Structure 1
């Protein structure tokens, strides 16, 4: 899904500026035209999302969030798997939290550096 999709703002709009979401992902979430979004729904309601942005030869994986009531239920891993399938063999980087770091390391990413509560990871 992109921000050009008819349902984008209806589904994700309520999350983009929520203080608790912004605080958890480490900054504002923007809806740039070159982002691809992956969305998890339960009964038509968003329970998680993540994004990826193509920039030159490296894809940046961005903006992952799962609603608190759906954490530890496989939503993040499913979104992560969808994003990796879309990514294919292309080189990628991400800045992740301690909670999401294992998912990256388990799929071939390596730690590049850590700053505060965030770790930059790279693949390829």
Structure 2
């Protein structure tokens, strides 16, 4: 059985670029997400690994935006868990996300509600826990 691990990183961590560099603007990742993966200041990344290989990741910005939900082929079952981990990482504040339609259900499972729907993307919002109570 593969050894799994969850890492929480920012671009200031020495392991960030060796681990995440191959995924930043990688054509297959961009195609999967419907847009590029950017490394911006103020992002916290939750990265899932199995036997040292990245199986998925998601980012939380300091502005409460959750983005870049990616899972490697064969690991799409990890998507809801990644969104829930990002919500936990973000803390008690309102959250937003703009995702491809294929990922919207994973956000809805984590308490997000759809606020806008375009041809290619769904915009979602999750109120702070305090507001939701």
TM-score when normalising by structure 1: 0.88
Mark the CA change 1:78 to 1:107 in structure 2 (over 3 Å): closer, same or farther. Answer: closer
Equivalent residue for 1:88? 91
Partners of 1:117 and 1:94 in 2: CA distance: 14
Partners of 1:83 and 1:9 in 2: CA distance: 20
Mapping of residues 94-113 of structure 1, within 5 Å: 94-113=97-116
Q: Does 1:119 align with 2:127?
A: no
Say which SS state the counterpart of residue 85 (structure 1) adopts: helix
Equivalent residue for 2:42? 34
Q: Does 1:61 align with 2:36?
A: no
Partners of 2:23 and 2:119 in 1: CA distance: 24
Q: How far has the Cα of 1:49 moved from its partner?
A: 0.6
Equivalent residue for 1:51? 59
Q: How many residue pairs end up in the alignment?
A: 119
Partners of 1:80 and 1:104 in 2: CA distance: 6
TM-score when normalising by structure 2: 0.83
Tell me, yes or no, if the aligned pair for 2:80 and 2:110 is still in contact at 8 Å.
Answer: no
Q: How far has the Cα of 1:77 moved from its partner?
A: 2.4
Q: Does 1:71 align with 2:81?
A: no
